[in-house]
Structure formats: C-alpha cells, structure tokens
Structure 1
Amino acid sequence: MAHLSLRPQPLGIFPAPTGYLVIPPVAGAEEVCAALLAGHTPEHMPDALRFYTLALVDDRESAWRALAYDSSPEAHYNRFVLHSDPDIYPYLRKQLRGDLAALLDFVAYMVGLRDAPPDADAVCGEIAACILPAHAADALARQQYDAAIAALQRAVEEVRHISPLFAAQLLDRLATIHAGISQSAAALQALRDAVKLAGGGRRLDLRAYLALRLGMLCQDLAHGQRNLLIEANTWFEEALRCCSIESDPDLYALAHYRLALTILALAPAGNGDQILRERAIQSLRESLRVYTCDTHYEQWLNAQVTLANALRISFVASPANHLIEAVRLYDEALASRDQECDPIWYGRLLANQGNALFHLGDFARARDRLIRARAIFLAHRDYGAAALLDEALVEIECRGLGVRG
C-alpha cells in the first residue's frame, strides 16, 4: 500500500477522532482539504468523503460503515482511527508505509497499543505536528519541561504557515506548560500568537476559547496592573463576539463573568465609574442566565454575590431598586450554604447585606445582620473585620437609629 499522497491534511483542526482522519485523493479532495484547514466544512462533500462529515457530527459508527467497501490505504487507516482494533494493528503496520505508517503508530500509541510515540524526525509538516505533542506529553510525565516545550515549539513551526488553526491549538498547549512552570510572559505570548493565528479561520468556537483563555491569564496575572486588565477586557469582549449563549452557554457565561470582574477592577467605587459598573452588572446578569443554583452551584454563587456587591455600591439616581435586589441576592446566597462551611465568607455576606439594608433605611434588619456578622468575626478572631462593624453599629446608634432589643 502506498503512503499518504495528498498534502497538507487537515490534521489537528477538529477534536479527535476527526482530527486524526485523513482525506483520500478523490475528486474534489484538494478543495475539501483547503476548506477544512480553514475550519470550514463544505456544504457539498463528495460521496467518497461522507465518512468525514459523519465523523464531524460524532457519528463514529456510521463513519466507519461509510468506509467499509473502500480498499484504499487511507480507508484502512481511517477505519483504524474510528475503531482501533488491536488485532488489526499488526496487519496494517506491515502494509502501510511512510506518513500513513507514522500516523498509524501515533494513533496506536494514543489508544494504548504502543508504549511510546513514533519517531517524528522522519516526517514533517502536519504529520510531525500531530506526533510531536505525544512526545511533549511523554516528556511532561517525566517532568522534563524543556523537552516538552521544545517538542511543541517544533510542532508549531511545522504547521504555522500551512495549518494556522492547528498551530493555534498547539500554542494553547504550549501556553499551558509555560503557565504551569511560572513562565508567565511566555504563556501570554503563546496565547497571543494563538489568537492571531485562529483569527484567519472559520473556527469561531476555537477563537472564542482562545480569547477567553488569554483574557483569563491576563486577568490572573494583573494584580492591579491596569494595562493587563484592559487587555483582559479586550479579549473577553472578543470571546463574546465569537460565541453566543446558544452555541456555547458555559463559555458565554464564563466570559461575561470574567468580563464583569475585570470591569469592576477597572472601576473603583466612585460616581465617575458608574457607567463601567453598569456594564459589569449587565454582564453578571448575562452569566446568571446560564448559571443556576441547581446546575452550576459554585459559579452561580460567585456571580450572585458579585452582582449583589456591584449593585450595593452603585451610584444611581434611584438606588433603592438596586439595593432591594442586592438584599434579595444576598438572602438567596446565604440560604444556599450552611454557615459552618465557610464562617468568614458567611459573615462578610451578612455584613454586606447589613450595609445595603442600612442604606435602604431598614435599620432593625441592618443592625441584626451586622451584629450576627460581628459575632462570627469575633468567634474566628478576625478582629479587624469586627472593629469595622463596631464603627457601623456606633454610627447607627449615634444617629438615633438603633433598635433596642
């Protein structure tokens, strides 16, 4: 059987197993490859490539059956990708040559039929880029970080110009390694390059994911640095331009939540920043369209409390509605978690709710929340937080607003 004849192949563009399939040299195959390399599935695929369309929608069994009567080398390999029968592997290994043989060994390694990935030095381009990440993973397992980085860097350079979407995904993996060993600048650069490479393709889902990852890394590394917060804001907005609540609800919600946090960090409490805070409030409301107490408890709780805090400090012409909503959100958050799970967190929520109630003029409930919060702080020796509440309680008393119990 001959080796792989059509190059470049759309390897690594889509998730496995589709990302491991190859396109045979049938009529119209070159045009299909070009479209797939750009992340676009042609509306009209040749009948001989129906297997690929089925694989894209994760119908692996039907894709395998579509190849049943094809005797080409590519079909033998593709059937193994879709159904990696250990009894077939030795037979195919004797039949296939060159690029297909290397890919076959790679797939066999990925499914546990080989102890080590195949040598990548005898191949190039997208074939090498497909195999090299396996060498990187192998090096990582032995904590050989320099070797893992070198393997991925070579993989990126193999496909940067012939398969930018594949290169973008490899850069995402590279960024993860850099971030894991505290090479923050290198991680940022890898993700910036990845987003740029993904920008020329049709995989909006990939660009949204990469923009979100880059925004989150900028945000996590900012520590108050305004330039990184502004960059994070830019990437979160880019992620939201590339996705919708229908196409990827979890990514949509997380992008809105992270965007809100960035905006709030850029807008310290003050009347002049109210427009920014209103944008953050809107993003938090969007995230809560996805996050619910039943389906995403931790994310819902974080978004719920952040929204309550943002509403509490808002400067608007008629603040009562914001404050009333904040009190309700605090109530729901407090009711969802037992005090003993995180007493200090619980105390802070009570204190914030007490503050909102005070500004609403509900002084009896405000005093009750502040006293309960103070007791929690004292019990856990957070004397600074307790002292701040002492000041608030004294202010209530001094203004003649205390409620005697």
Structure 2
Amino acid sequence: MLRPQAIGVFPGTAGFLMLPPVPEAQTLMPALLRGYLPERWPEEWEFFSLGVSGASVETILQAVPEGPEGIYNRFILQPEADVYGWARERLAGDYVLLLDAVAWQMGLCPEPPKLPEADGEIRAFVSAAQGYYAIHRGSWEAGLERLQAAAEAAEGVSPVFAARLYTEWAASKQMRGDDEEAVIAAYRKALDLMEGTAFGEVRAELWFQLGTAYQERADGRKGFLMKAMECYHEALKVFRRESHPDAYAMVHMNLALAYLAMPSTDRGSRLRAALAVQGLREALRIFQKDTHPDLWASATMNLANALQHVSTSHPEANLWEAVALYEEVMEVRREEDDPVGYARILANQGNALAHLGAFSRAVPRLEEARRRFLEHGEEDAAGAVDGILQEIRRLRQQSEGDAAAEKGEVRRGAP
C-alpha cells in the first residue's frame, strides 16, 4: 500500500478514495496532502482527479484501475451491501480496516473496526470512526477522546486531515460549552496545520469559528472581543459578498455583535456602534425575509437594538426605524414558537417607544412583555421592564405636575 494516503484531505467522495502506488508518488504526494493538484496526473490516478473535480460516479468508476485499491474504491463509489461483501472477500490488512470503517459510516455493519496496530492516517481514519461511533451512542467523552487521538495520529503525516479532525473536535466541544480554552487552542492548531495549503475557504471558516469561540468566552471583556474581531476580519479576506454571500453576511452580523458587546466607556464606543449598524445593514443585503427568514429576523432584531444605542444627529429617526423593525420581526418570530423571545421583542419595542415619549403605545407592550416574562420564570427580565414602567410613571407625573403648575401660573396672571 502507498503511504501516506490522501484519505481525509479532500471533501466529499475524494476524501475516502485510496491511491495506488505509482513511480511519481513520492514527488507528488507531499503537495497533494496539502491540497495542491498536480499539473499532470499519473494515468493510474486519473480517477482521483475526476473525484476531486466532482465527476459522476459512473465516470470515476470507468477510470478506477485494478488492484486492492481499486476494489476498495469501487465500494466507496458504490456503497451497497453486495459490493461491500464482494470487496471484503478480496481484501486484507489495512484495506479491510478502512473498508469496515467506511462500511460502518454507510450503515452496512454494526460498528467500526477495533483500534488497529497501524499508524498515521490509517490509524487516524479508524480512530475517528470509533469516535463518531461513541458519540452516536451518547458517549461524548469517549468519542471526543478518540477524535483527539485521531487528530494526533494524523498530525505528523497528513496536516490537512489532522486539521479537519481538530476542527471537528473543537466544534463538538464548543457546541457542548466545554473547556473554552481547549476549544480555542484546537482551532488555532488547525489554522497552523492549514497554513500553506490550498484550502483557503477552510481557513476562512476556521477563522470564523475561532472568532465565535473568543466571542462566546468574552462576557464583555474587551481583549477577547478584540481577538474575535481580528478573526472575523481574517475571514472576510476570503468571504466576499460576490463569492460567499451567506458566509460574508454571517461574519458581518457576528462582527457587529462584537462591536455592540464592547464596553461603552471609552471614546471609541460611538464609532463601534456606528460600525455595528453598518455591518448589520450589510448582512441584511444578503439575509432577506423570503430567502433567510430566521437569519433575517436575527439581523433585523440586532439592527433595531443597535439603532436604539447609536449616537447620531437624528436619534428620533433611528428610534422610529427601530420600532418599525421590531414590528416586522414579530411577523416572523411567532409567540407560540418562542414566547420568551417574543416577549423580548415587545420589551425592546416598548423601550424604544418610551424613549420617543410615545407612552400610550409603550406601556401596553411593556406590560405584556412583563407578564410573559413572569409566566416563564424570567424574573430578571421582568424586573428590567418594571424599571422602564416606573420611569414612564415618573415622567408622566412630572409632566402632569408641570402642566398643572403652568395652568396655575396662567390663572394667576389672568386679568
């Protein structure tokens, strides 16, 4: 068997295919393992070229050469029970390990093979399958341990494969809210391993994921938010509106939220608020109500929130725009789907109306929000709404007192 193999390097079907030995292998393989395709493919590797380019299964099958790699590859291209049985009768050693690992992922055998004596990318491939198997059975700790072991096994021989495995490990830990420092370290290791490879989009995605990890850990701390923003700017070097519209919009939305989360005690807070509004408007050029309803609602809600805090020469216009945006969001975010979220929209809209002095419209929304918060055990949120209602009552009493005093002055001065 040719070693190392390019398994796990390329996305899709090509990431499972095996390459047969050829005289040029030692020259071509280092670049291929980093994602760089040769200008001239050996004839025996033409099928792999077709797989990377996304050719049809029928076209790739016609180019698959004979030999053990060919038997294995035919199963990859036709992952059916009879082809699996046919291939297993004809293969041995590491070929069977890889075959069984893929067969488990395809649902054709009950579990992946045991941890092999093999090393490098072969050990990593099987260990990763064991990790997925453990996670599938609910054993998250064991599964994540196997994924980490898989990444470590691949690191010295197949950096892109190792980076992908570290990324999966970090993303799984991040999803569970586990060990934020380790998550950040894993994303950074994956970025280092991806340095100098052909996978610029993967690196951009990693920068974005690292940014989210810093942002989740920030809790208002400026240093972590600054790191998150640096990561998002790195991602935007690749994610352009024309080429990657959805990713571009998502990065702009997260970047805006990072600006808004920064402490507002320094002189840069006004600029950051303005940049946040600009970023959210940019995201909404992509996230439309009819094409991305959930993302549109999130971006629109965040824009409305930002407009309440941005310092401009026309604050009333911003507040009225925020009121209208909240109204639009309530057409998408239904109360029955997320009653607490719906209450937040009501509270934010009521707050904007209160700042505008439209108390008769603000109070019903705020009272409704308060009631819903209390119904769902959100005492702190209800308390915040109470504070706004108390301030409205104070302002109304003050206004009534001023009006009465003015009327008294007029009466006393009347002829």
Bucket of the pairwise TM-score, normalised by the shorter protein:
0.7 to 0.9
Q: How far off its partner does 1:261 sit?
A: 0.9
How many pairs align?
Answer: 391
Counterpart amino acid of residue 333 in structure 1: V
Deviations 1:101-154 (A, max 9, x none): 322222222212222222332211111111111111223345545543442233
RMSD value, Cα: 3.0
Structure 2 counterpart of 1:89: 84
1:309-338, Cα deviation, whole Å (9 max, x unpaired): 212211134545544543442332234445
Q: Report the TM-score, using the length of structure 1 for normalisation.
A: 0.84
1:284 has 2:283 as partner: no
TM-score, reference length from structure 2 = 0.83
Report deviation, 1:191. Answer: 1.9
* Counterparts of residues 1-400 of structure 1 (less than 5 Å): 4=1, 6-26=2-22, 28-42=24-38, 44-67=40-63, 70-179=65-174, 180=176, 182-268=178-264, 272-319=268-315, 322-338=318-334, 342=339, 343-355=342-354, 358=356, 363=357, 366-377=358-369, 379-380=371-372, 381=374, 382=382, 384-392=384-392, 394-395=394-395, 398=398
Amino acid at match of 1:99: D
| 1:265/1:73 CA distance change after superposition, 3 Å | same
State whether residues 222 and 263 of structure 2, in contact with CA within 8 Å, keep that contact through their aligned partners in structure 1. no
Gap runs ≥5 in structure 1 = none
| Deviation of the 1:266 alpha carbon | 0.9
What do the CA deviations read for 1:252-304 (whole angstroms, capped 9, x no partner)? 22222111111111142776411112222222122212222222222211110
Aligned to 2:379: none
> Which amino acid letter does the alignment assign opposite residue 93 of structure 2?
G
Distance 1:379 1:146, change over 3 A: closer
2: CA distance between counterparts of 1:333 and 1:401? 38
- Compare CA radii of gyration and give the structure with the larger one: 2
CA distance in 2, matches of 1:218, 1:184: 8
User: Quick one: structure 1 residues 28 and 355, their matched pair in 2 at CA, closer, same or farther if it must change by over 3 Å?
Assistant: farther
Q: Is the 8 A contact 1:67 1:79 kept in 2?
A: no
8 Å CA contact retained: 1:155, 1:167 = yes
Q: Could you tell me how far 1:55 is from its partner in structure 2?
A: 2.2
Which residue identity is paired with 1:65? L
Conserved 8 A contact 2:297-2:333: no
CA distance in 2, matches of 1:38, 1:29: 14
Mapped partners of 2:31, 2:278: distance in 1: 38
Cα distance in structure 2, aligned partners of 1:395 and 1:76 = 81
